[in-house]
Structure 1
Amino acid sequence: MRILHTADWHFGRSLEGRSRLQEQEAFVDELVTIVKDEAIDLVLLAGDVYDSVNPPAAAEQLFYEAMSRLSDGGKRSIAVIAGNHDHPERVSASAPLAARSRIHLIGMPTDEPIMVDVARTGERAVIAGLPYPSESRLRELLSEATDETLLRSAYSERVGRLMQRLGGFFREDTVNLAMSHIYVLGGLETDSERPIQIGGAYTVDPSALRVGAQYVALGHLHRPQRVDGDERMRYSGSPLAYSFSEAGQAKSVIVFDAEPGKLIEPRELLLSSGRPLVRWTAKGGLTEVYGWLEEGRDARSWIDLDVYMTESMTLQHIQQLRRQHEGLVHIRPIYPETAETAEAGGLSREQLPAEELFRRFFSRQTGGAEPDADTVQLFLELIAEDDESASSQDTDIANERLEGGEGQ
């Protein structure tokens, strides 16, 4: 059978308020073409179907349209597990209806594998599918131990035991696969995927997933990559770049042929449907930026712009830049007095306001996600209350914690 591995669609996600729906629709079109051209028998979607537990209606509609088109009336099987951004019950709510079209939707961790029969080859795939295994979803509390190593060990071992149970259904005459939405130790993160964790407690050692599967399909990290140098344990990555930390990354899906007892040789198929995310640094000021715009540089890209200025940037400057390129997402002026520190990595902690410190801390702790306005406001209200009752010593401690978070 021929299998395609994809993950981290994040339908409903925007970029600083800019809709990505058209790009996501284009990705679905591209994926439908790929599965037809490659004669795919089984699609593995390793979590994060949506970007939030309560996605907009358009995102849900796009997902169900994608499932319908990919399954092609039940001619092709699909296995979907929930990710950390998904509400598990929302993912699995339509499972009884979807099953009629050979679409398997799994929301919560279970000790039953996914069984897929492929009529074209007469083969059966046994999938040890583990949706995002948060402690609550595993219905198991973290150990009361405070040592981070012990916490990580307990969680990783718990995941390993569950995977071993699922792997117990593997047989010599079946195609044996594993799939999970999880952060495996050693994976390279970008700024748009990692959830808030207690230290490193929600990381899993690669050995926990080695349960005899011929291929391990992973979701959660948005950069396509092998895990621990293992060619057959992979993150497919997201189909679109969802943060500027992914600027320049090639996006792809993984395709491979699988037979019982045979070695799998995965290959990457590059995607082209998403708009690139690029960073511009204009040391020549606005004149240099206008020159780039006139020559049509990165015309279909989303752009993060740093522009060196010797005079104040006005609202008129910003409006003119945005009129010339609607893809300019961030426009940051850099002035002579801050240029040196900016080139060295940004302003010092002492120069940053509390709101910016919190944004950086939140971004680091979540792998680059941006806090929404309500979260920022709640933080500001909390520190305002703290200021009324706490001493300046408490403020110093808070700043030290923020600084420590940025260095993780």
Structure 2
Amino acid sequence: MKILHTSDWHLGRSLYGRKRYEEFSAFLDWLSETIQKKEVDALLIAGDVFDTSTPSNKAQELYYRFLCRVSASCCQHIVVIGGNHDSPSFLNAPKELLRALNVFVVGAMTENPEDEVIVLQDRNQAPLAIVCAVPYLRDKDIRTVEPGETIDDKNAKLIEGVKVHYEKVCSIAESKKADLEKAGHEKVPIVAMGHLFTAGGKTVEGDGVRELYVGSLAHVEQDVFPSSIDYLALGHLHVPQVVGGAAHIRYSGSPIPMGYGEAKQDKKVILIEFNTNTPKIHEIQVPCFQELVRIVGTLDDIHAKVEQLKYDESQAWLEIEYTGRDIVGNLREILDEALTGSAMEIRRVKNKRVMERLINSIEDDETLDDLDVNDVFTRCLDAFDVPEEDRIELTTSHAEIIQSLNEEDVNVD
């Protein structure tokens, strides 16, 4: 039994306005070929298939074309769970049709936990694995609101809600495993999935990973997950990593860099082989389909790096930050000229000196486009001279409202 674990595709995501469909398509082609080459029996996609709740037609085309291609290969099953970026109703809409392709979709927490437990069978109807397909658990699904709660109370209830749900789902899986053993099917592994933030998880600048819940906690500890789980396939964090030193609990990470903070990161998918009681886990490195390069320095430093990249015939997308002492007002024009004759693209330019010169006057000229929702709320508190002792509760309430808006499923009628 071979399982491949991947997550956080974020199909449809752009980089400073640049569409990345060719990159996504190249990854999915590579993944299809890897599944064939490694003779994978089941593919697990641990959430955030799409970057938004209303994915473009092109993003949808990539997704469904991939599912059709893989379902016709050696891969007998595909299990997809919803992430915090996904629309549950959008993912779930074609689930009955996709079942015909042995694609199982769980977009959101179900009313009956048994609906999140899937017994995968081979072509002879023999059990391969029991999958606990737990999607992103929204705040409203796992926590009831009570008057007078503190932030610590809310965090504790969130963690308890996550724990209780995994216990319910895994208990059903354990019962199914016992029944299979009675029928003579031994060593059927329990594989769980999840989309959440574990304590100590690593993130990087610019990866777009949102805090899932309001408050300072809501990062679950390893002991939240039942010991009956043989492998836990997690999504949400973009850095491939092991959780709490437990080799069988892992994030596969995103398959392509979501921003320049991930540019030097090795991207991976995880292959798990179940031949004995202890799974063999292999990390497979994903090729780089589009080079991202961040250049920081003086004008001379930037020119030197650009010339080296041109010499190497690089096709990189560049983020350039000028940190020299002199003010260079026409920096973008200079850089565009330096790239003449190359296949490179400048996706972003940061002119530190010009920014510093304007910093004192920016408030007079800034617009709402320059601020995020938290900036606006802080300005509002300042404008009304709200005392510091009142700000914590107000800020928490504001964050809860924003979270509820982020979690609203816009595709629901």
- TM-score range for the pair, normalised by the shorter chain length: 0.7 to 0.9
The Cα offsets for residues 40-68 of structure 1, whole Å up to 9 and x where unpaired, read as: 00000000010000111110111011111
How much does 1:374 deviate? 6.0
**2-side partners of 1:162 and 1:377: how far apart?**
34
Corresponding residue to 1:221 among 237, 256, 261: 237
Residue pair 1:148, 1:201 contacting (<8 A) in 2 also: no
Residue pair 1:219, 1:237 contacting (<8 A) in 2 also: yes
Residue pair 2:6, 2:44 contacting (<8 A) in 1 also: yes
Q: Who is 2:277 aligned against?
A: 262
- 1:372-391 equivalences under 5 Å are 376=371, 390-391=384-385
Corresponding residue to 2:294 among 276, 279, 282: 279
- 1:245-260 equivalences under 5 Å are 245-259=261-275
Whether 2:226 is the aligned partner of 1:182: answer no
Flag as ranges the 4+ runs of structure 1 deviating above 4 A. 142-146, 321-325, 336-339, 350-358, 377-387, 391-394
Percentage of identical aligned residues: 25
**1-side partners of 2:317 and 2:22: how far apart?**
14
**1-side partners of 2:334 and 2:369: how far apart?**
29
Structure 1, unpaired ranges of 5+: 340-346, 359-372
**1-side partners of 2:285 and 2:306: how far apart?**
32
Q: Who is 1:243 aligned against?
A: 259
The residue identity in structure 1 corresponding to 2:351 is: P
Matched residue count: 371
- 1:9-48 equivalences under 5 Å are 9-48=9-48
The residue identity in structure 2 corresponding to 1:209 is: F
Q: Who is 2:8 aligned against?
A: 8
How much does 1:37 deviate? 0.3
The residue identity in structure 1 corresponding to 2:291 is: P
Corresponding residue to 1:329 among 340, 347, 352: 347
The residue identity in structure 2 corresponding to 1:41 is: D
Structure 2, unpaired ranges of 5+: 400-413
SS in 2 for 1:126: strand
How much does 1:210 deviate? 2.9
**2-side partners of 1:69 and 1:355: how far apart?**
55
**1-side partners of 2:216 and 2:122: how far apart?**
39
The Cα offsets for residues 59-93 of structure 1, whole Å up to 9 and x where unpaired, read as: 01110111111111685200000000000111111
Q: Who is 1:160 aligned against?
A: 163
The residue identity in structure 2 corresponding to 1:271 is: V
Q: Who is 1:108 aligned against?
A: 108
- 1:340-351 equivalences under 5 Å are none
Q: Normalising by the residue count of structure 1, what TM-score does the alignment of the two structures yield?
A: 0.80
Q: Normalising by the residue count of structure 2, what TM-score does the alignment of the two structures yield?
A: 0.79
How much does 1:150 deviate? 3.1
Residue pair 1:3, 1:257 contacting (<8 A) in 2 also: yes
How much does 1:224 deviate? 0.3
How much does 1:146 deviate? 4.7
**1-side partners of 2:309 and 2:73: how far apart?**
46
How much does 1:236 deviate? 0.3
- 1:271-310 equivalences under 5 Å are 271-283=286-298, 284-296=300-312, 299-309=314-324, 310=326
SS in 1 for 2:128: strand
| TM-aligned CA distance change 1:378 to 1:3, over 3 Å | closer
Whether 2:219 is the aligned partner of 1:203: answer yes
Q: Who is 1:194 aligned against?
A: 210
Residue pair 1:128, 1:179 contacting (<8 A) in 2 also: yes
Residue pair 1:26, 1:274 contacting (<8 A) in 2 also: yes
**2-side partners of 1:200 and 1:356: how far apart?**
34
The Cα offsets for residues 110-134 of structure 1, whole Å up to 9 and x where unpaired, read as: 3121221123793331111110001
SS in 1 for 2:4: strand
